[in-house]
């Protein structure tokens, strides 16, 4: 019994170390996939991209970019051996090798798989999109299962070793791939700034959201985690959360009071110049409600 408890504790420590190393890939892939597939607002977004035209093809491309960003970022951050005594860098047990090899692949196929399930549950008239989602999931799955040696020189293992691929520095082509992906993440915002009406008529809000997921994953895992660990600095993965908590007190959406007057509109503490509570108009309530939802 004691041996089992000790072994379970070791597995938990190894799992926690690995999940923290690729924190953004794991959280933004799992939570956002569940949100799109099972939260009412996410389901409405999936219905939105089912309209005729280029909406769904562009959405499929955005989901693919999100999935590949999660796979690639997790593979890079888990494969690199950094200086220090972190469990993910020191442990080489079969369990750690399995997680290092399969966690990025699972993250890569999760978004299209869950979206396929949701389209299947929605039924007609979007049932046909479930087959397109399944084809996308199979294509991404085949890609991430194929052998790729885009990084890792010099390797920590001799060629031909059965151990999982690990490396102590990046190859030049991997650096080019990462830099190109990060630069491309700025192309869409620039296009929207240049031609807002034309671009947003094709790239709908759900597609923009999925492109943003991929961009956040690349920035979080490869900049806040990989870059800092490369220079023997602590990971900055928790920095956005700390900033969110720090600046949340300045969010003016907190002025919305949690009760409703007789006409069905909330009372707002900041509508009047002197800060007194006044009844809000329907338009004022709608604007603040949208602001709160976006926040």
| Cα–Cα distance, 49 to 58 (Å, whole number) | 9
Asked if the model's pLDDT at residue 19 lies above 80, the reply is: yes
Q: How confident is the model at residue 87 (pLDDT cuts 50, 70, 90)?
A: confident
* Sign, Cα dihedral of 8, 10, 16, 21: negative
pLDDT at 148: 64
pTM of the predicted protein model: 0.76
pLDDT of 285 higher than 60 = no
Distance between first and last Cα of the chain: 48
Q: What is the mean pLDDT of residues 62-84?
A: 88
117 Cβ contact partners less than 8 Å away, ≥ 6 residues apart: 37, 130
pLDDT of 109 > 90? The answer is yes
Q: Which two tokens stand for residue 287?
A: 């604007």
By the 8 A CB rule, do 49 and 118 touch? Answer: no
Contact 155, 165 (CB under 8 A): yes
* In the block, residue with structure tokens 């079969």: 94
With cut-offs at 50, 70 and 90, classify the pLDDT of residue 152.
very low
Is-contact 261 64, C-beta < 8 A? no
The two beta strands, 278-279 and 256-260, are: unpaired
| Arithmetic mean of pLDDT, 150-176 | 55
- The verdict on whether omega for the bond into residue 90 sits within 30 degrees of 0, i.e. cis, is no
Query: Residue 256: pLDDT band by 50, 70, 90 thresholds?
Result: low
**CB contact at 8 A, 14 and 87:** yes
* Average pLDDT of span 207-216: 90
pLDDT tens digit string along 179-197? 888 788 788 888 888 888 8
Tokens of 145: 């299962």
Residue ranges of domains in the chain: 10-246, 251-294
Comparing 105-109, 212-216, 284-288, the range with the smallest average pLDDT is: 284-288
Reported residue count of the chain is: 295
């Amino acid at each position: 019994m004691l041996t089992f408890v000790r072994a379970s504790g070791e597995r938990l420590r190894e799992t926690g170390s690995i999940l923290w190393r690729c924190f953004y890939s794991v959280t933004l892939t799992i939570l956002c996939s569940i949100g799109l597939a099972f939260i009412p607002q996410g389901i409405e977004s999936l219905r939105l991209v089912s309209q005729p035209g280029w909406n769904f093809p562009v959405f499929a491309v955005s989901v693919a970019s999100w999935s590949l960003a999660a796979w690639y970022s997790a593979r890079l951050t888990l494969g690199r051996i950094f200086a220090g005594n972190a469990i993910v860098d020191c442990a080489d047990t079969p369990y750690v090798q399995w997680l290092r090899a399969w966690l990025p692949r699972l993250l890569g196929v999760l978004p299209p798989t869950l979206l396929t399930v949701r389209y299947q549950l929605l039924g007609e008239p979007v049932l046909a999109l479930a087959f397109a989602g399944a084809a996308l999931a199979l294509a991404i799955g085949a890609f991430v299962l194929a052998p790729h040696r885009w990084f890792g020189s010099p390797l920590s293992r001799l060629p031909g070793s059965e151990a999982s691929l690990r490396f102590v520095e990046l190859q030049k082509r991997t650096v080019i791939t990462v830099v190109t992906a990060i630069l491309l993440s700025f192309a869409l915002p620039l296009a929207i700034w240049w031609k807002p009406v034309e671009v947003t008529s094709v790239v709908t809000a759900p597609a923009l959201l999925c492109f943003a997921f991929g961009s956040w994953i690349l920035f979080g895992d490869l900049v806040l985690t990989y870059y800092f660990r490369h220079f023997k600095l602590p990971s900055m993965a928790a920095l956005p959360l700390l900033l969110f908590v720090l600046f949340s007190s300045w969010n003016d959406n907190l002025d919305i009071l949690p009760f409703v007057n007789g006409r069905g509109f909330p009372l707002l503490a900041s509508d009047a110049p002197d800060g007194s509570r006044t009844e809000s108009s329907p338009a004022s309530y709608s604007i603040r409600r949208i602001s709160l939802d976006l926040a």
